[in-house]
Amino acid sequence: MNKVTVIGLGNMGSALARALLKNKCAVTVWNRSPEKAEPLVDQGAVLAPDPFSAIAASPIILVCVTDYMAANHILEKATANLSGKLLVQFTTGSPQDARTSETWANVHGFEYLDCAITGSPSSIGTPSAHILVSGSKAVFQKADPTLRFLANNLDYKGELIGLASAWEMVFIMHYYGMFLSLFHSVQICQVEGIPLEEYITVLDKQGKRYEKWLCENILSGNYLETSAPLELWAGGIQKIAQHAQDSRINAEFPQLAARLFQLAMNDGYGREEVSALFKVLQKST
């Protein structure tokens, strides 16, 4: 039986643990807020009392927390138990975050892969799941059977550890342009008297279901988070803006988007759906 530890039980971390349990893995979990583990314990997971015990329990450790700072804070407390094990990092970060973590892994004697999930938590364990992976080919081959429980579509990008996060940036960047242009289009509808229902119908005919859904959020005024809160998107664009600056490529657009998302965070919309950004853009008219 595969033994796997999952550290971090937010929406995505919980989805990873559920998929492993469904495939008869022996799953140990740990989360800063232990109550999040209760549904998983009911399904057969073992709740570790601390990160040290969680890492000691399994040869493969999956980490999916808020950011690399949080991940490093957790892992540094249990460095001794990581020796000889395989750490698979699912925490969203930058290529530089991945390179720094790989160096740290090499110093402390454990194997390391960096992963990025391009879909929602609900996709994990389904045919639509898509996971980007980078790192040593030999280590990837060792982890492959376990990672296949999460996504049959494992997209191995190469030995350079930063490639998974770099490709994730490439895939998600177009969404930020879509958000800004879509929400501006909604404002045009509002000021020119075009019923938003008509625009939603057009989007539906064009097969733009995600855009249609975002507009339906605005129309109903329901911005409740369902899978990917605004704070997740805010963190993503901040990393892209920082990457652009560090790489000396033009950073104006990601910096603009990052500022707008930060305004939404400042207004307390972080735990709402990304469509809540519209409320910030509407205020600026």
Specify the pLDDT at position 1.
64
* CA dihedral of residues 115, 128, 157, 26 (deg, nearest 10): 40
Whether residues 103 and 204 fall in one domain: no
Domain C-terminal end among 107, 126, 161: 161
Tokens representing 251 are 């950073």
Tokens representing 66 are 């808020």
C-alpha 58/C-alpha 4 separation (Å) is 5
Specify the pLDDT at position 210.
94
Whether residues 149 and 220 fall in one domain: no
Alpha carbon separation from 53 to 58, 74, 81 (Å, rounded): 9, 12, 8
Whether residues 117 and 34 fall in one domain: yes
Q: Domain for residue 166, yes or no?
A: no
Rg (CA), the chain: 20
Whether residues 217 and 143 fall in one domain: no
- If one counts the domains in the chain, the total is 2
How many angstroms separate the first and last alpha carbons of the chain? 58
Residue 188 lies in domain: 172-283
Neighbours of 96 (CB within 10 A): 16
The residues of the chain scoring below 70 in pLDDT are: 1, 284-285
C-alpha 19/C-alpha 36 separation (Å) is 16
Whether residues 87 and 29 fall in one domain: yes
**Pairing between strand 26-30 and 153-158?**
unpaired
Whether residues 9 and 67 fall in one domain: yes
Q: Domain for residue 167, yes or no?
A: no
User: Domain with 234 in it: what CATH number?
Assistant: 1.10.1040.10
Whether residues 26 and 154 fall in one domain: yes
Specify the pLDDT at position 284.
58
Q: Domain for residue 75, yes or no?
A: yes
User: Domain with 82 in it: what CATH number?
Assistant: 3.40.50.720
Q: Domain for residue 136, yes or no?
A: yes
Domain C-terminal end among 161, 195, 227: 161
The closest of 90, 100, 87 to 133, measured between CA atoms, is: 90
Whether residues 136 and 227 fall in one domain: no
